[in-house]
Structure 1
């Protein structure tokens, strides 16, 4: 499936740049909501990452008549029974406040030993077209939650997520390094493979 123009259902600059970088050369034109002149908030009331991604993508397709790609990503911590999960962005009660979210996570894991601080980042992607085509993709990466923030790159929980095997947090990696192994990178590669397979 070759797409001439697609909208990314996000205004998160970090996320938009990451998606554009990975899909570069695959679509002729990739626009963020802002670049497409769209100013709307879509309520993410799904109970899974896939549901939230689809809700966002479908809303923008209905609004613009153009294909849309949306993702929902989050952190699932073993010791917290998978929390914060779909509530990752608003874990502290204030949407998108990375500092407060990280503080809450560290507080809840205080005293939890390293071997029980396992976690995974998950990204689910939905690509929806005006014709009603729906393609879902998913990516995951395992890691450990550190006891303090380490590194200055990335965003969100990146300074707390130690990548197994690299002994570095996401926030210590360059954007290229992160894209090559991240949950979002894996989900986008999964999406590209699916698009290629259906022509």
Structure 2
């Protein structure tokens, strides 16, 4: 089955469960979310072509890559971490997808006319910054140059092949120590960058739902910030 069809099936399952907010794994939750005060946000999981050829309807998982941003070190929250492009939903945004596309353009300069939105995944709680985040799945049919368009937000922009992210030797568990408590999340190693925390949890869950995940050693741990 093509990667696109597999993505569409996962999106359809999430759409059927609309209104069901997803929680982060208990081993990663450092505090409870304040639902009454929580803001809504959107992130773009943008799948492009890992090789020379453009994406096709029959492209497989190994043909894809994913767009990431490296957050600026000066940011108040999640500084220096790897993330999907995205941010808070503004009143001017006509939809969750529009918010994700706007944020992606602001952060990476991507030409959003070359992106087809396939749909959204379930809204996920992010207690550490009190957000409810909706992942938007994008299909990058006509690619454009990307770069850190706003240095105040992004220190870098890069693309990681899905095949590399799925490779078991590039999988590990990120560990954060807070006093006597230890918090863990799945993580991905890519060219001396570690994708961990919320972004890695969302990506790991998506890969699992797609049936793309290969067995990996979750006992291989790396201490994070």
Q: Which has the higher contact order (CA 8 A, sep 6+)?
A: 2
Normalised by the length of structure 2, the TM-score is: 0.26
Normalised by the length of structure 1, the TM-score is: 0.28
Q: Which has the higher strand share?
A: 2
